Structure 1
Amino acid sequence: MNVRFNHRLLILPAGIICLAFFLLPLTRLVWLSASGGGAGYLAIITDPVYYRSLLSTVVLSVTVTVISLVIATVTGLFLTDSRLEGQSSQGKSSQGQLSQGKPSQGKAFRGKTLLIAMLSFPLAFPGVVIGFFIIMLGGRQGLVAQLSLALSGERWVFAYSIAGLFLGYLYFSIPRVVLTVMGAAEKLDPGLPEAGRSLGASRWQILRDITLPALMPGLISSGSVCFATSMGAFGTAFTLATQIDVLPMTIYTEFTLNANFAMAATLSLVLGGITWLCLVMARMKGAGSVNMGG
């Protein structure tokens, strides 16, 4: 009885935090949304301002997720490939190396540790700082504008458009996926690719039939987090918000400038619902991939 009572006390702080920072605000959002009589949900599909904002946010998030997964998968596999190759050749050379008193080690190129540290560097910055980076690159006084002015006499400015926001989201999304892919790739059995090569499989066939299926749970998990982060990211969008029409900025405008609390609550619930649905589906799919792999 005493132990059971202590366990209940331990769950109390988590319950209080969940009530104060999740259930109560969510209940308030639902109440504000319902106060509009459901007109807000109809406006999302009939008013061009709202449905274009929703559509552009979803398309941007999906594009960022897909590009991040492609770049991060190639990079993560490259950074772990030498280690896997070294381990796969361990069995072949272990006898000779043991007889010489030398341990078998995977190969690693010079500067690999520094490269991994630099790839994870964007995780140290908040969205506002990343937006400032994009302005320094593609703003009116940025590097691209200065070079284009010198070469063609015109300034090429993209920082304040959806292209600048895309680069900003890509900047902080790739490191998350790279680290996940590397963690998953390091757990792969190096004997599986070696067995594929011994059976005459090409590198593409090994990647398609062995490596990617084994990495699929990690890719699904990191992709869902990437999508959710891109859907709700506000700091970068706020910094670059000149020609950008995405849902977080629309919610901010409705809440602060128009004082349309019912519409802001409705858009917030739609944004949260789409993100939550993506995370749930990714969790189910990821669990299914793990079960099939095991």
Structure 2
Amino acid sequence: MKETPVTARSFGVLCLLPLLIFSLAFLALPLVRLVLSSSEGADGWSVYIRMLQTPRYLAALLQTLLVSGAVTVAALAVSTTAGLFLTRNRFWGRSALLSILTLPLAFPGVVVGFMIILLGGRQGLVNQITPGHVVIAYSTFGLFLGYLYFSIPRVLLTVMAAAEKIDPALEEAARSLGAPAYRVLWDVLLPALRPAMVAAGAIAFATAMGAFGTAFTLATDIDVLPMVIYTEFTLSANFAMASALSIALGVVTWGVLLIARSLSGGTVAAGG
């Protein structure tokens, strides 16, 4: 019996079949179900209008945007400075320092939140050494510190990878023409790093927007969107509003990633 030869096209289809099954089962179908779930409440599709008319939901969205934006700016500033220094300098202990800076990647959000409590909680170090017994862990600033803690290594690794590819001859040429250090940084290094910084900043923003573990540990007096979504479907059993808020969170985050992709030349680093 003569066997039918497998063509290149059919082989490609067979290779893509597992990806298609995964995309449908774990990406497309849950997303469609989420959209449909948002319309199954008493308000129907008007749930999105009610979401925009409810001060608590708008305040939570605004606070989430502000915290995520502040974390992104701070992470870019710290990571770009540290990344350029570590890329341009070789010294004893450099590997150990780099390992410490990337250590937060090994911790889940709950552990990060617990570390912030140990630092700035009611029994934390800051409370013990300050005269007024300052507590910062359960505030917006505490949440900012938690998000910043796990955002820095993500941005740092991306910036360092881009910095290592910059031709040192460009810096030498700028210095030979009499450019001071700040002009070399502004006119040579930062433009070369801009795509990586935009991509890393977008990932830091998206991660902060959707972070739950740290917010769950710390956000006792503040509302961020992941926590509001959690309370809506657990405490209130309001699945329609929880779905609508989830879609709003996803759309905002997706929009930021789309803008970053266009600004960074089509490449946005992956992050978790």
Please say whether Structure 1 and Structure 2 have the same fold, judged by a TM-score greater than 0.5.
Answer: yes
Q: Could you tell me which residue of structure 2 aligns to residue 117 of structure 1? A: 99
User: Which whole-Å CA distance do the structure 2 matches of 1:38 and 1:49 have between them?
Assistant: 19
**Paired residue for 1:286?**
264
Is the 1:224–1:278 Cα contact (8 Å) retained in structure 2? Answer: yes
How far apart are the structure 2 equivalents of 1:43 and 1:74?
44
Q: CA deviation at 1:7?
A: 1.6
Using the TM superposition, name which of 7-16 and 48-57 deviates more: 7-16
Amino acid at match of 2:205: F
Query: Distance between the aligned counterparts of 2:122 and 2:267, measured in 1?
Result: 47
Please tell me whether the aligned partners of residues 43 and 50 of structure 1 are also in contact (alpha carbons under 8 angstroms): no
User: Aligned partners of 2:218 and 2:266: how far apart in 1?
Assistant: 39
The amino acid of 1:255's aligned partner reads F
**AA matched with 1:124:** A
Distance 1:180 1:163 in 2: 25
Query: Following TM superposition, by how much is the alpha carbon of 1:3 offset from its aligned partner in structure 2, in angstroms?
Result: 2.7
- Give the distance between the partners of 2:266 and 2:174, measured in 1 at CA: 24
CA distance in 2 between partners of 1:145 and 1:243 (Å): 18
* Aligned position for 1:13: 18
- Classify the secondary structure of the residue corresponding to 1:120: helix
Segments of structure 1 that go 5 or more residues without pairing to the other structure are: 83-107
Name the % identity: 56
Please give the root-mean-square deviation of Cα atoms over the aligned residues, in Å. Answer: 1.5
- 5+ residue gaps, structure 2, are 1-5
> Cα offset for 1:289?
9.9
Of 71, 74, 77, which aligns to 1:70? 77
Deviation at 1:16, TM superposition (A): 1.2
- 1:17 Cα deviation after fit: 1.2
Aligned AA (1:170): L
After superposition, residues 51-90 of structure 1 pair within 5 angstroms as: 51-82=58-89
Q: How does 1:26-45 map to 2 (within 5 A)?
A: 26-35=31-40, 36-45=43-52
Bigger shift: 4-13 or 229-238?
4-13
TM-superposed CA distance for 1:40, in Å, is 2.4
Is 1:264 aligned with 2:246? no
2:194 to 216, 221, 225: 216
Shift of 1:81: 1.9
2:199/2:267 contact within 8 Å kept = no
Q: Please identify which structure carries the higher helix content.
A: 1
CA contact (8 A) 1:237 1:244 kept: no
Distance 1:289 1:117, change over 3 A: closer
Q: Which has the larger radius of gyration?
A: 1
List 4+ stretches of structure 1 deviating above 6 A.
none
Residues 247 and 267 in structure 1, CA contact (< 8 A), matched pair in contact too: yes
TM-score by length of 1: 0.86
Secondary structure of residue in 1 paired with 2:264: helix
Counterpart check, 1:276 vs 2:258:
no
Contact (CA 8 Å) 2:51, 2:241: kept in 1 or not?
no
